[in-house]
A and B are shown apart, each in its own frame.
Chain A
Amino acid sequence: MEGMSYARTPRVKIRELKDDYAKFELRDTDASIANALRRVMIAEVPTIAIDLVEIEVNSSVLNDEFIAHRLGLIPLTSERAMAMRFSRDCDACDGDGQCEFCSVEFHLRAKCISDQTLDVTSKDLYSPDHTVVPVDFSDPSGEESSEQRGIIIVKLRRGQELRLRAIARKGIGKDHAKWSPAATVTFMYEPDIHINEDLMETLTLEEKRTWVESSPTRVFDIDANTHQVLVVDPEAYTYDDEVIKKAEAMGKPGLVEISAKQDSFIFTVESTGAIKASQLVLNAIEILKQKLDAVRLSEDTVEADDQFGELGAHMRGG
């Protein structure tokens, strides 16, 4: 019995990769793994976000808690988050922001002195730590085209002032969505589409056209030369069953057979910018491994059962 393994070897193929976007195929595994990965990416991969705000002066039109909430939602670069400590298990401090292991301090000072409204943005947040800064969304290709702008926090008119101290901490999306590194994570089953060619040839060109057009998304097309119906984009299929219903309505049931492959998934991952999309996937795998490790049976549970087991054997034997 020992040494037997039911572990699989999933295959991965990356289709598209950008800093904040990834599209990949995941094969030879099941929906439970795909879904666990998706859930972990959304709710359990840690990032850093502002969690505590001390407002010194606020004469803006927005109240203190409104500004604190807006600050919390600003994505901060969080490559360091995996190695950081949660402030609740940090023993170097009481989570008050004085400790480099679990928190990063930010300062914001802005006062409007002209007649023009002043935009206070995420660029006005200063921290002594260069590894944790508000995410830069400026397009690297369009150099200084529309001046580098951050996320607007509040607008000030003449004489209004905002001065505050903010502490950013490590956290997870399960606690508050501001810590979620994922904008969207989705997966779809890869569709398996089979056209019944013999039955298809009984259709006139006009019938083929109406059938092809019955699909809300462009999954099928007609070859201009051979007038054959072809599957041009299987992944455009949304499992809407429209073409199947259309075939039945035309009196040709079984014209096409569509099923979802149970072991192939197409993932789309979009990141908020806090961490790279590729790193998000890797972190999710790592977190899932840690979670599994945490649910291993502890030694004392096993020992307690061994004793009980002997007792049970006695009882059964006697």
Chain B
Amino acid sequence: MNAPDRYERFVVPEGTKKVSYERDTKIINAASFTIEREDHTVGNILRMQLHRDPNVLFAGYKLPHPLQYKIIIRIHTASQSSPMQAYNQAINDLDKELDNLKSAFEAELAKHSSGY
């Protein structure tokens, strides 16, 4: 009867930002990014990619509550970088990796289908 609509889980409500950024008030080069309507799929790959960046001192994500459809990514970087820079770099690198993966898979697929 009062169940929320199923699409609430993945459609960003009007007037809400997909990603919001909040600096840490006490630590410089630390910030959290709140991503609406995302879950472990994006949270975990971003976290692991951030760990590969030597400028990142801390990176973690949490899903605060299973019924609040958002994740919070927290990044703390060294002084020569910034959380925003690290975040953008992680996304760009993952994007490149997925491009590489796609071409690798397509090449294998071509090899496989020509074998018949």
Chain A residues within CB distance 8 Å of chain B: 1, 4-14, 17, 24, 26, 29-30, 32-33, 35-36, 39-40, 44, 88, 172, 174-176, 278, 281-282, 285-286, 288-289, 291-298, 301-302, 305, 308, 312, 316
A298 touching B19 by the CB < 8 A rule?
A: yes
The residues of A that contact B88 with a CB separation of less than 8 Å are 296-297
Q: Which of B10, B40, B89, B108 contacts A13 (CB 8 A)?
A: B108
Give the docked Cα–Cα distance between A7 and B102 (Å). Answer: 14
Q: Which of B10, B23, B52 contacts A174 (CB 8 A)?
A: B10
A285 touching B10 by the CB < 8 A rule?
A: no
Q: How far is the CB of B42 from chain A (nearest CB, A)?
A: 6
8 contacts between A and B (CB under 8 A): A6-B49, A13-B108, A17-B113, A36-B45, A285-B101, A291-B41, A295-B19, A295-B35
Chain B residues within CB distance 8 Å of chain A: 6-7, 9-11, 17-21, 23, 28, 33, 35, 38, 40-42, 44-49, 52-53, 55, 80-81, 84-85, 87-89, 91-102, 104-109, 111-113
A5 touching B96 by the CB < 8 A rule?
A: yes
Q: Contacts A6-B93, A289-B98, A291-B42: A297 and B19 contacting too (C-beta < 8 A)?
A: yes
B19 touching A301 by the CB < 8 A rule?
A: yes
The residues of B that contact A29 with a CB separation of less than 8 Å are 97, 101
Most buried by A among B21, B38, B111: B21
With A7-B96, A305-B21 known, 17 other A-B pairs at CB within 8 A are A7-B97, A8-B100, A9-B100, A10-B97, A24-B105, A33-B48, A36-B42, A36-B44, A175-B6, A282-B102, A288-B41, A295-B19, A295-B38, A295-B91, A296-B88, A297-B33, A301-B17
The residues of A that contact B84 with a CB separation of less than 8 Å are 297, 302, 305
Q: How far is the CB of B88 from chain A (nearest CB, A)?
A: 7
B100 touching A7 by the CB < 8 A rule?
A: yes
B21 touching A7 by the CB < 8 A rule?
A: no
In this complex, what residue of B is CB-closest to A5? B93
Most buried by B among A1, A7, A288: A7
Q: How far is the CB of B17 from chain A (nearest CB, A)?
A: 7
Give the docked Cα–Cα distance between A92 and B102 (Å). Answer: 33
Q: Which of B18, B23, B95, B104 contacts A12 (CB 8 A)?
A: B104
Q: How far is the CB of A281 from chain B (nearest CB, A)?
A: 6
Q: How far is the CB of A12 from chain B (nearest CB, A)?
A: 4
Q: Contacts A33-B45, A292-B95, A297-B88: A12 and B21 contacting too (C-beta < 8 A)?
A: no
Give the docked Cα–Cα distance between A13 and B109 (Å). Answer: 9
Interchain residue pairs A-B with the least CB separation, the first 5: A7-B96, A32-B48, A7-B93, A12-B104, A6-B52
Give the docked Cα–Cα distance between A30 and B45 (Å). Answer: 9
The residues of B that contact A7 with a CB separation of less than 8 Å are 92-94, 96-97, 100
